[in-house]
Chains A and B, each alone.
Chain A
Amino acid sequence: MKKDLAFQRRLKIRQLQGSSFSALFLAATLVGIFALVILLVDVFRDGIGWLDWQFITSYPSRKPEEAGLLSAFFGTLWVMVLTALFSFPVGIGTAIYLEEYAPDNRLRRLIQTNINNLAGVPSIVYGLLGLSLFVQALALGRSVLAGALTLTLMSLPVIIIAAQEAIRSVSEAHRFGAYALGSSRWQVVRRIVLPTALPGVLSGTILAMSRAIGEAAPIIAISALVYLTFIPSSPLDRFTVLPIQIFNWVSRPQEGFWHLAAAGIIVLLVVLLSMNAVAIILRNRYQKRTEE
């Protein structure tokens, strides 16, 4: 009887504990959502009125009413495509080597540690590296190519780590099953590991890409130029990107440019969200195909 009474009293406290913690965690989650909503509302209120066809199809100008982000938009597109072209094969190749081929020795561990460390290096450092290596030493100039190579270096650690995790999650039972049927190592990689790991690799790559195209710091180091009135037509042309254009507008004293910055942010967000959507579509389609 006494025991039951103690239990009942404790039960009340435990139930209270349960509900208060659940409320606490909900509040923590809401902080992030709330911040995002405020940001979006603020940006949309400032920028939506200035977001029109003229804004998308015009070059930067000294007059806010005539300015647009055509050059920055295409600069971002160029850099994004080139960066993806460079970083995806190198990243997935590195991950496959480290997970499937490399013997577990000191060298492998050294490489692994370095990759993990590189993932945490500030982006401006990559910008300075790109400036001295690609722009100056390799004499690529302040070109799209130099920018894309720099962003490739920056994205690689993230892509490699994501790809490694995806590869590691492929079941050993399937690997052994394939080996036991006389598969070579490459056949196991090609027919078992890659199809299963690809969705994870893709989402890791696209995540790294979205981070890369939102970066202003490394591109500022490489291409200080922000007033461009042409679209790059080759990888060796000069370029600017959306974050730099936005940064430039934000720092102008005239109020009109602030609205342009907000409109630019909306465009950047749309680009980012469409990339994520592509990642999700690719992933779902591939998953369905392997499950069939």
Chain B
Amino acid sequence: MINSVASLETKTLELWYGNFQALRGISMVIPRNQITAIIGPSGCGKSSLLRCFNRMNDLIPGSKVTGEVLFGGRNIYAADIDPTEIRYRIGMVFQKPNPFPKSVFDNVAFGPRVNGLNDNLEEIVEQALHRAALWDEVKDRLRRSAMELSGGQQQRLCIARALALEPEVILMDEPCSALDPLATLKIEDLMRSLAEDYTIVIVTHNMQQAARVSDMAAFLMMEQDRAGVLAEYGPTSQLFTNPKDKRTEDYITGRFG
């Protein structure tokens, strides 16, 4: 077992979209400064679980959460917590690169600006772009539209955009699914280097990717019409080489899913 401090912890977390239950009794501890992968078949609730960590499900009408998600000792679903603060501390990168139709600079400066951090913007932006391994490619075109960048560059820009707020956690929802293998490799390298300073939770449908980059792995599954069951959670090496659960073994050896 890897011993380290918890960054996020869920306690019997359940999620409904209207009458549909998307997550069932999820309890897990996500360690700090490590990469935790959430894997599982399509529709099992991977992305839904990820969106619970920064309250993005709040934006979906009819969604309801019970249980707790502890972050820094506080339940982020407590009544006195503004989701804005959670999203300020926990960044997110989406499945499809979604840079705003603004300049490269304005994209990275967006987070600091909306949160009122207007001092040293130039420096914040440059540093975020450095950390996202994008600086050298865009330093001469900071004022040009972000839409001119390639898909892989756009995704690294979205990572830089999240980094500009210096979050404690970065959530990544299948960040490479729209990218070619080369761009994917770049993002994976980047994730490894970011894990030194950040806690990363990544949703992926790509087994190899989970095995390559993650320290911890959670296998979410779907049985008949029951979605969102956490079948197994543990160190990636153990989950992939010596799964305790028969269903995990079937899935990672490709017998279903």
Where the two chains meet, the residues of B that have a C-beta atom closer than 8 Å to any C-beta of A are 54, 56, 59, 61, 84-85, 87-88, 91-92, 94, 96, 98-103, 110-111, 114-115, 143-145, 147, 158, 161-162, 165
User: With A and B bound together, what is the CA distance between A292 and B100 in angstroms?
Assistant: 11
> Contacts A182-B85, A191-B114, A291-B101: A176 and B91 contacting too (C-beta < 8 A)?
no
B144 x A182 contact (CB < 8 A): no
B91 x A178 contact (CB < 8 A): no
Chain A stretch 180-215: residues in CB contact (< 8 A) with chain B:
180-184, 187, 191-192, 195-196
A179 at the interface (CB under 8 A from B): yes
Given A173-B96, A178-B110, output 19 extra A-B contacts at Cβ < 8 Å: A103-B61, A174-B100, A174-B101, A176-B59, A176-B94, A177-B99, A177-B158, A178-B114, A180-B56, A181-B114, A181-B161, A182-B84, A182-B111, A182-B114, A183-B84, A183-B114, A192-B100, A195-B101, A290-B102
Kindly state the interface size class of chain A when it binds its partner: 20 to 34
Q: Number of A-B pairs whose CB atoms are under 8 Å? A: 69
Quick one: which of A103, A104, A181, A195 contacts B162, CB cutoff 8 A? A181
Q: Mark A266-292, 1 if CB is under 8 A from B, else 0.
A: 000000000000000000000000111
B84 x A173 contact (CB < 8 A): no
User: With A and B bound together, what is the CA distance between A167 and B162 in angstroms?
Assistant: 25
Chain A stretch 231-283: residues in CB contact (< 8 A) with chain B:
none
Pull 21 A–B residue pairs with CB atoms less than 8 Å apart, ordered by A.
Answer: A103-B61, A104-B61, A171-B98, A176-B94, A176-B98, A177-B99, A177-B161, A178-B110, A180-B54, A180-B91, A180-B92, A181-B111, A182-B85, A182-B87, A182-B111, A182-B114, A184-B114, A290-B101, A291-B101, A292-B143, A292-B144
> Contacts A182-B85, A182-B165: A173 and B98 contacting too (C-beta < 8 A)?
yes
User: With A and B bound together, what is the CA distance between A180 and B59 in angstroms?
Assistant: 11
User: With A and B bound together, what is the CA distance between A292 and B105 in angstroms?
Assistant: 11
B145 x A179 contact (CB < 8 A): no
With most chain A CB atoms within 10 A of its CB, the pick from B84, B96, B100, B145 is B100
B103 x A178 contact (CB < 8 A): no
User: With A and B bound together, what is the CA distance between A208 and B237 in angstroms?
Assistant: 65
> Contacts A176-B59, A191-B114: A181 and B91 contacting too (C-beta < 8 A)?
yes
Q: How far is the CB of A187 from chain B (nearest CB, A)?
A: 5
User: With A and B bound together, what is the CA distance between A292 and B114 in angstroms?
Assistant: 20
User: With A and B bound together, what is the CA distance between A273 and B115 in angstroms?
Assistant: 44
